[in-house]
Each structure stands twice: as C-alpha cells, then as structure tokens.
A and B are shown apart, each in its own frame.
Chain A
Amino acid sequence: MTAVATRPRRSAPPLRTHAPDRRERWRRRLPLLPALVFLIIVTQLPFLTTVGISFTDWNILRPGQRGFAGLGNYVTVFTDGRLRAATVNTGVLTASTVLVALLIGLGLAMLLDRSFRGRGLVRTLLIAPFLVMPMASALLWKHALYNPSYGLLNGTMNAAGQVLGFQAPTVEWISTMPMTAVVASLVWQWTPFMMLILLAGLQSQSTEVIEAASVDGAGGLATFRYITLPHLRQFLELAVLLGSIYVVQTFDAVFTITQGGPGTATTNLPYEIYLTMFRKYEYGEAAAAGVVVVIGTIIVATFALRVVSSLLRDERVT
C-alpha cells in the first residue's frame, strides 16, 4: 500500500478557517473552472458528435446520400471480419508488447538497483529509446534495422558469417514475421518506461527488511519471491495499466512498418478506424467503430481506475 503512495500517511487537515459557505465554495472552484470547461468542450463535444455520426449512413464518395442508418453501422462493426481481426490484433499487439517490455524492464530495473560505476550513464543510455520520436523510431526500425539488403540486423549476421565462415541467411524480417517486427520495435520503445516505474518501486523498498531476510538465511531467490515481488505488486500493476493505455493506441509503428499488412495481419483498431475514415471514407462506420472502442475502453478502464483509486484512498483531504 505504502508502495505507490510513498508520501507520509499522516495527511494534515486541510486549510479551513471557517466552514465554507456559498461564496467560499465558488471561490475555491474558480481556479478549477477554466481547465474543466476547456476539457469538456474539447473532449466531450467530439464524442457526442461521434455518437451522432455513428447512426448515419455517410460516405463522402456518395454525396447527397447521407441518411439515417439506425443501428446499421453497429451491425457492420460486429459482423465485419476486418474489425474482428483488428480487435484480435490489438489484443495480441498490446498484451505481448506490455508483457515482454515488463519482463525486460523488471530485469533491467534489478540490474540498476545496485550501486556500480557508471550507473547514471547506463540509466541514461537505457532511457534513450523511449525519448526517440515514435515516428523516427518506426522509420529507423523499418529502414535501418529490418531492411533485408542493407539493414543492421542482416548486416550484422552477414558480418558475423564472414568472420566465422558461414553463409548468413537473408531474412525478410517484416514480411515473414510482421507482428513480431512491430512488437519488437514497440518493446524497444516501452521497456525504459517499465524499467523506470519498477526501478522507483525497488528503490522505495526498505533495505532493513532485505538485510533482515539475508540475516535469517533467505537466499536471493527467496528474498525476491517473498519480499521484493509482493512489494513490487502495485508498481507492476501501475506499469501494466499505464503501458496498456498507451500501447493500445499504437498508430505510428503500424502505419510505418507494415501498413497493417500483409493483408490484415498487423492491422490494429486505431489503424483500421483510420483506414475506414480516410481511405474508404465510411464516416458512419468509422464513428460506430470508434464508439464501440470507447465503450470497450471504458469497461477495461473501470477496472484500471480501481487500481489507481488506491492511490488517492490514503489521503483524507476533504
């Protein structure tokens, strides 16, 4: 519990000289209002528009035929094979990226949770992939690493082959393993994120407990299993939660590395909705798909929010 909320539990009573009357309540609300109003206008208004459009039959390639479609678009969304494929792909892409990045991130965090020479520099180097612009990173992986004839991956294998005397194969990374290619680039990008959160978790662990365990004769593995892992649980949850929120929305990597292909092998929901919108111009269908995605997200997010809400439970500010 104290894991994520590392601040002192004892929260001081709020500033209140007298019971807040009407005027005082509004004076307190005033600084909040600009942000609240702005956010409602920019995020909620478009959503209502989406709901409206989702009930219309609207394709700008067929002008003048715009009409009420009822639930027609929703029927299409649920029966269309492309969207079902996109949903499955989104699940595979998100789950594998988040899990692999989490595991590698955990390993790296544990490596960094000791003092050694050059620790700061190692951390700085490890953060770099997360800071490279996602579009730049997607292009870098596609052209500089995966390219079959001059990419770094095949090039390194070829160089190794020349030194060690074997014929290195020419691997067409993107066409033979498209999903792995996309996931690998995303794992590279998101591992530092996981590492940073888990490292913060490891460093908030009290050293006394670990020392006590080692005095009691607990080995490294037992200490990890029974002390470190339970302590890290909240951090792992937070890392998975935030990682999923961001990775579900992946667009740049799919758009650049595979264009969703071959076929629909790597088309995820954001990319499929984008195609429906700006390639097929089926506005009604795209809107309906958007609404379905939002509802799905709300269901997942409700669970997620329960995790985050434990962060605020400690505070007894009124």
Chain B
Amino acid sequence: MTATTTARRGRIRPSARPPETAVRRRGRAWTVLAWIAAAVFFAPVAWMVLTSLHAEVDAATNPPSLFAPLTLDQYRLLFGRNITPFLVNSLMASVLSTLLVLGLAIPAAYALSIRPVERWRDVMFFFLSTKMLPVIAALLPIYLIVQRLNMLDNVWTLVVLYTAFNLPIALWMMRSFLREVPREILEAAQVDGAGLVTTLRSVVAPVALPGIVATGLICFIFSWNEFLFAVNLTATRAATSPVFLVGFITNEGLFLARLCAAATLVSLPVLIAGWATQDKLVRGLSLGAVE
C-alpha cells in the first residue's frame, strides 16, 4: 500500500524527492550543530553544578572524575560557614533597590510617553548618558562621600547606588512598555470622565504589568551580580554574595567543590529570574529597542 503510493508519487513528480531529503538531511545537521553548541556553552555551568555535588578529593582529579559519588556536603558546609548573612544582604540590596527603581521609573516613564513633557527626547538621552559613563570614575568620589556620611558597610548605601545604576535601564524599558498602551482606550477613558487613578488602574496597569515584572527582574539581576562597589564599600556587616565568593578562596588546600557549590548557590536566583523572563530579557538588555 505505502509502496504503491510512494511509487505513484515518485512517478508523478520524479524530481521532487531527492532534493527534499537533501534539505531535510541538511536541516538535521543544523539541528545537531545547534545541540552541540548548546552543550559546549552549557558545559562549564554543568561542570560547576556537578563539581559542587562531589567531595573535594573527587573534584580535584586529573583526568576529571565524572562519575564520583554525589553528596550535598559542600552545601551543608556553606551554610555552616555562614553564607546566610551574605545572601540576606544581597537579597535586601537587590530587592529594595528594584522596588525603589520601579517606584521612580514608572511615573517618570509615564511622563515621557503617555503624557509627555516637552523635550522628552533630551530627558531620555540624559538618562541614557549617565549609564554610558564608566562607573569606575564614580568609585572614588562615592567612596569618599559615603565615608564622610558614615555610611560605609551599610546595605542602604548599596540600595541607593544600585537604584541609580538601574534607573536609566528601567526608564527606557518601562517607556517602551507604556507606549504599547492603546491611545484610543486612554482617550475613551478620558472622555468617559475617568480620573487619573482609575485610568492608571484599569487601562495602563493591565497592559504594563508584564513589562513591570520584566523590568523588575532585569534590575534584580544587575544588582544581585554587582561586585565593584559591593567589595569596596562594604566590610563585614553589609557584604553581599559576590564578596563572599572572593573572600572564600583565600585559604590553601582543596576548595574547588566548595567554591563550585557557592558559585552555584549564588547564581541560582539569577538563573531562575533570567530563565523566567527569557522572552523579555532581550528587550531589557537592549533598553527596550528590540522586541
């Protein structure tokens, strides 16, 4: 049955079959290549996670021992070494600064898109230009000012700084989301006599909410990962997780498995946040320019 149909099809369009299989074979080759690329790029991450589940002696072998027994000892050890305060500091600095950023950026984005102020373009570029300046140039004065204010080694210092670092990104991103609020509906709401609060709650918020979440996650990622200011402005009380990682490897002896466990643990929140916001990640990274 199938033989006859293929035979018949073959007779009707004799030249159709060979190129199709060639195309399909080439397509499969591309798919395999994509999988290989993914494996290569993911390998260091996979190696990090695998090593974190090994004992120290199995982690530092040559050739590498892939199939050594798995254990959660390294993670237990981390919490024994008091990683918790560092995680809490990181969490405070990034969550509080993200909330602050959103609180400042959403109204500002509103004033730059839905009811734009005059010369809104210049304002947008002013915000962007602050992001282009290398942060290293601000480290010394900020250090001196913070020292003068007696705010060294204080989480709130990081909160304020991360808010400033992320505000331009959040503003550009939020503006691109707010522009998607349909004007017709806004106008209709206005004609119907809806007040500002009602308009915001029932027209703007539903459209902008996914954008607000994505913006918040991007700001969270950048704050969570920040190292330069965290290491120079904190000491014992306010140090965040990247600072923990650095201080962690000064001791001699085998530390690879423990290091990998710590690296996995501190990367986990961002990996989750990033994977959750995958579709909007590119939009945030390109400041709302690319969808």
Which residues of chain A have a CB within 8 Å of any CB of chain B?
4-7, 12-15, 17, 20, 25, 28-32, 34-36, 38-39, 42-47, 49-50, 53, 107-108, 111-112, 114, 116-119, 121-137, 139-141, 143-145, 147, 149-150, 152, 154-156, 158-159, 162, 188, 191-193, 196-197, 199-201, 204, 235, 238, 242, 245, 248-249, 251-252, 255-256, 269-270, 273-274, 277-278, 283, 286-287, 290-291, 293-294, 297-298, 301, 304-305, 308-309, 311-312, 317-318
Q: How far is the CA of A126 from the CA of B113 in the complex (A)?
A: 34
Which of B7-15, B44-52, B72-80, B204-212 forms part of the interface with chain A?
Answer: B44-52
Judge whether B183 is part of the interface by a CB distance below 8 angstroms.
Answer: yes
Known: A38-B164, A251-B228. A152 touches B47 (CB 8 A): yes
A-B contact pairs, 16 of them (CB 8 A): A7-B180, A32-B112, A111-B30, A125-B38, A127-B275, A135-B242, A135-B245, A140-B47, A143-B256, A152-B44, A245-B132, A249-B134, A278-B232, A290-B134, A291-B137, A317-B113
- Checking A137, A156, A238 against B290 with a beta-carbon cut-off of 8 angstroms, the contacting residue is A238
Listed from nearest, the 8 A-B pairs whose CB atoms lie closest are A31-B107, A290-B137, A159-B63, A49-B141, A136-B263, A46-B141, A42-B164, A35-B108
**Smallest Cβ-Cβ distance to A274: which chain B residue:** B136
Judge whether B274 is part of the interface by a CB distance below 8 angstroms.
Answer: yes
**Smallest Cβ-Cβ distance to A157: which chain B residue:** B63
* Contact of B136 with A251 in the complex, beta carbons under 8 Å: yes
Interface of B is mostly: helix
* Contact of A124 with B278 in the complex, beta carbons under 8 Å: yes
- Checking B127, B132, B140, B186 against A50 with a beta-carbon cut-off of 8 angstroms, the contacting residue is B140
Judge whether B249 is part of the interface by a CB distance below 8 angstroms.
Answer: yes
Which residues from chain B contact A273 at a C-beta distance below 8 Å? 136-137, 139
* Contact of B62 with A144 in the complex, beta carbons under 8 Å: no
* Contact of B125 with A309 in the complex, beta carbons under 8 Å: yes
* Contact of A4 with B289 in the complex, beta carbons under 8 Å: yes
Judge whether B168 is part of the interface by a CB distance below 8 angstroms.
Answer: yes
- Checking B41, B125, B262 against A191 with a beta-carbon cut-off of 8 angstroms, the contacting residue is B41
CB of B130, distance to nearest CB on chain A (Å): 5
* Contact of A133 with B34 in the complex, beta carbons under 8 Å: no
Which residues of chain B have a CB within 8 Å of any CB of chain A?
27, 30-31, 33-35, 37-39, 41-42, 44-45, 47-48, 51, 59-64, 104-105, 107-108, 110-118, 120-121, 123-125, 127-145, 160-161, 163-164, 167-168, 171, 179-180, 183-184, 186-187, 190, 221, 224-225, 227-228, 232, 241-242, 245-246, 249, 255-256, 259-260, 262-264, 266-267, 270-271, 273-275, 278, 281-282, 285-287, 289-291
Q: How far is the CA of A119 from the CA of B33 in the complex (A)?
A: 12
Interface of A is mostly: helix
Q: How far is the CA of A149 from the CA of B256 in the complex (A)?
A: 12
Which residues from chain A contact B124 at a C-beta distance below 8 Å? 312
CB of B277, distance to nearest CB on chain A (Å): 10
Which residues from chain B contact A197 at a C-beta distance below 8 Å? 282, 285-286, 290
Q: How far is the CA of A54 from the CA of B124 in the complex (A)?
A: 29
Q: How far is the CA of A277 from the CA of B233 in the complex (A)?
A: 13
* Contact of A293 with B136 in the complex, beta carbons under 8 Å: yes
* Contact of A32 with B108 in the complex, beta carbons under 8 Å: yes
Which residues from chain B contact A108 at a C-beta distance below 8 Å? 34, 37
**Smallest Cβ-Cβ distance to A131: which chain B residue:** B274
Q: How far is the CA of A168 from the CA of B73 in the complex (A)?
A: 33
**Smallest Cβ-Cβ distance to B224: which chain A residue:** A133
Q: How far is the CA of A135 from the CA of B240 in the complex (A)?
A: 12
Known: A143-B256, A196-B285. A135 touches B35 (CB 8 A): no
Which residues from chain A contact B41 at a C-beta distance below 8 Å? 125-126, 128-129, 188, 191-192
Which residues from chain A contact B116 at a C-beta distance below 8 Å? 14, 28, 317-318
* Contact of B140 with A15 in the complex, beta carbons under 8 Å: no
* Contact of A238 with B286 in the complex, beta carbons under 8 Å: yes
Q: How far is the CA of A32 from the CA of B127 in the complex (A)?
A: 11
* Contact of B34 with A112 in the complex, beta carbons under 8 Å: yes
Q: How far is the CA of A290 from the CA of B138 in the complex (A)?
A: 8
Known: A53-B140, A144-B260. A200 touches B123 (CB 8 A): no
**Smallest Cβ-Cβ distance to A136: which chain B residue:** B263
* Contact of A277 with B282 in the complex, beta carbons under 8 Å: no
Q: How far is the CA of A85 from the CA of B188 in the complex (A)?
A: 62
Q: How far is the CA of A111 from the CA of B37 in the complex (A)?
A: 9
* Contact of A131 with B271 in the complex, beta carbons under 8 Å: yes
Known: A43-B133, A117-B31, A188-B44. A32 touches B111 (CB 8 A): yes
Which residues from chain B contact A191 at a C-beta distance below 8 Å? 41
CB of B161, distance to nearest CB on chain A (Å): 7
Q: How far is the CA of A187 from the CA of B112 in the complex (A)?
A: 36
